[in-house]
Amino acid sequence: MVIATETTSGGSHHRRLTFAAFLNSDPAAEEEEQRSHGVDVDAINPSTSNNSNNNMNMNKEVHYYQQRQSNASTTSGESSPNQVLSPWNQTYSPYYTDTTTTPSMSPSPWNQTYSPYYKSPWIYQRRNMDDDGTDNGLVGTIVRQDGHVYSLAASGDLLFTGSDSKNIRVWKDLKDFTGFKSTSGLVKAIVITGDNRIFTGHQDGKIRVWRGSKSRTGSYSRVGSLPTLKEFLTKSVNPKNYVEVRRRKNVLKIRHYDAVSCLSLNEELGLLYSGSWDKTLKVWRLSDSKCLESIQAHDDAINTVAAGFDDLLFTGSADGTLKVWKRELQGKGTKHFLVNVLIKQENAVTALANAVTALAVNLTAAVVYCGSSDGSVNFWEGQKYLSHGGTLCGHRMAVLCLAAAGSLVLSGGADKNICVWRRNGDGTHSCLSVLMDHVGPVKCLTAVEEAEDGDGGQKGDQRWIVYSGSLDKSVKVWRVTETASTVIG
């Protein structure tokens, strides 16, 4: 506290400076003035020297804050690695591990490079990658605060995103195009068929079906659900169609009674696969939306399902297993049989630590990739006999999503990073880059081949546009190329 002294004929008394006067005051000059009037400053405050230094530091902080305010409008958004992490400025790099350096900035939410309004509810930021000459990197960010982004799917120039607000947003040319909303249930999975039907899996256990209007551009309406009402009523009258899920509770076999966590299409066979936290795998025929099979596939929640090559189907679960199913003829129809278990857990403890969280399939090379909660990505290859090819280690936390694109495989994790891997001709994998711009776990990924525009890079260079959805409520758009130089291992 700065104290000013006035000497009068009757003695001396002290008065406090106003805050405005304090901001403009010079502690050293005041002290000198007090001493010139014969005032014993040390008697007034025994720790004068400490207070003087503290006051000078406060003035410096005020000046520093004012300087930061003036620079806030011109900053490029890049921050020093010594910057304190705050709710308004999450620019943490996983490779910055220097914990001994004292942060150079105050942890106050007002003393940051970014203002709280840097990311508005509506924003699209575009970055020209040609400026820095990078092969792989961020193209732009699209944000609408509908909630955490749990699912996305791309079709042509349209991008569909699902969130915990029950909304499905549709983006065209990376601008908000339209949207539609379900009555209930967080949107956990989205797939799009060739005939422009959109299937969405929800937290409430329902699979809803949507279709775009041919007469009204941008208008989508719900055209049904799985199972269909007709099939539901038909099956419900027969007690044999029910299964007991817990004591005194029976449900229809053709209906999920817990969250639909994943969907996968095999349009060549005309089938849709759905996996659920109710531990069941269901097979649906696209032509008439009929449920062909309901399989008690796992001992715990199914997290991911992926249609594969050679009539194979892969499912991964929180029980820590990766199972392989094969579609085979049985009588007049077909049925899926368990043919292999690629990952097994010895006990419940190891299963909890190594839950299977994501799957992706490279159909051309006949490779299946499996992400786990321990941060690893294992892969198996071979059409007749699947053999373990190796393990990709690029994440410090759980792998939450995978996407295959040409010779590339992309993995998104709870560590907020996206690793871009390339499968080489000899079967080995190289990490081309680590994409770091999300400030929340990366929950979903999808990739589409970039259309050639005449100046599309080098000859034979296959480039992909990658969309990543995160729990930071944003979708980021990236460009990656298969011929990028290897930067890691």
On the CB side of 378, how many CA atoms lie within 13 Å of its CA?
17
pLDDT, average across residues 135-159: 86
pLDDT, average across residues 357-386: 93
Residue 333, pLDDT score: 83
- Please give the Cα distance from 489 to 44 (Å, whole number): 66
Do residues 470 and 443 lie in contact, with contact meaning Cβ atoms separated by under 8 Å?
yes
In the numeric block, which tokens belong to residue 29?
Answer: 């000059």
pLDDT band at 488 (very low <50, low <70, confident <90, very high): low
pLDDT band at 111 (very low <50, low <70, confident <90, very high): very low
Distances (CA, A) of 421 to 7, 79, 306, 331, 428: 77, 28, 19, 43, 10
Reference 136, options 435, 397, 368, 430; nearest CA is 435
- Please give the Cα distance from 32 to 35 (Å, whole number): 5
- Please give the Cα distance from 237 to 254 (Å, whole number): 13
pLDDT tens sequence across 4-52: 444 444 444 445 555 445 445 555 444 444 444 444 444 434 444 444 4
pLDDT tens sequence across 210-227: 998 877 777 889 999 999
Q: What percent of the chain has pLDDT over 70?
A: 68
pLDDT band at 83 (very low <50, low <70, confident <90, very high): very low
pLDDT band at 114 (very low <50, low <70, confident <90, very high): very low
pLDDT tens sequence across 244-290: 887 778 899 999 999 999 999 999 999 999 999 999 999 999 999 99
Reference 415, options 375, 447, 376, 446; nearest CA is 375
Do residues 150 and 443 lie in contact, with contact meaning Cβ atoms separated by under 8 Å?
yes
pLDDT band at 116 (very low <50, low <70, confident <90, very high): very low
In the numeric block, which tokens belong to residue 415?
Answer: 């560590």
pLDDT band at 132 (very low <50, low <70, confident <90, very high): very low
Residue 259, pLDDT score: 95
- Letter for the amino acid at 372? S
| Angle, in degrees to the nearest 10, between helices 27-36 and 48-72 | 150
pLDDT tens sequence across 305-332: 999 998 899 999 999 999 999 999 888 8
Of 82 and 246, the one with more pLDDT: 246
Q: Residue 154: is its pLDDT beyond 90?
A: yes
Do residues 308 and 368 lie in contact, with contact meaning Cβ atoms separated by under 8 Å?
yes
Of 450 and 33, the one with more pLDDT: 450
Please return the burial class of 204, using the count of CB atoms within 10 Å of its CB with bins 0-12, 13-18 and 19+.
middle
Per residue, the 3-state secondary structure of the chain, as one string, reads CCEEEEEECCEEEEEECCHHHHHCCCHHHHHHHHHHCCCCHHHHCCCHHHHHHHHHHHHHHHHHHHHHHHHHCCCCCCCCCCCCCECCECCCCCCCCCCCCCCCCCCCCCCCCCCCCCCCCEEEEECCHHHCCCCCEEEEEEEECCCCEEEEEEECCEEEEEECCCEEEEEECCEEEEEEECCCCCEEEEEECCCCEEEEEECCCCEEEEEECCCCCCCEEEEEEECCHHHHHHHHCCHHHEEEEECCEEEECCCCCCCEEEEEEECCCCEEEEEECCCEEEEEECCCCEEEEEEECCCCCEEEEEECCCCEEEEEECCCCEEEEEEEEECCEEEEEEEEEEECCCCHHHHHHCCEEEEEEECCCCEEEEEECCCEEEEEECCCCCEEEEEEECCCCCEEEEEEECCEEEEEECCCEEEEEEECCCCCEEEEEEEECCCCCEEEEEEEECCCCCCCCCCCCCEEEEEEEECCCEEEEEEEECCCCCCEC
pLDDT band at 99 (very low <50, low <70, confident <90, very high): very low
pTM of the model: 0.72
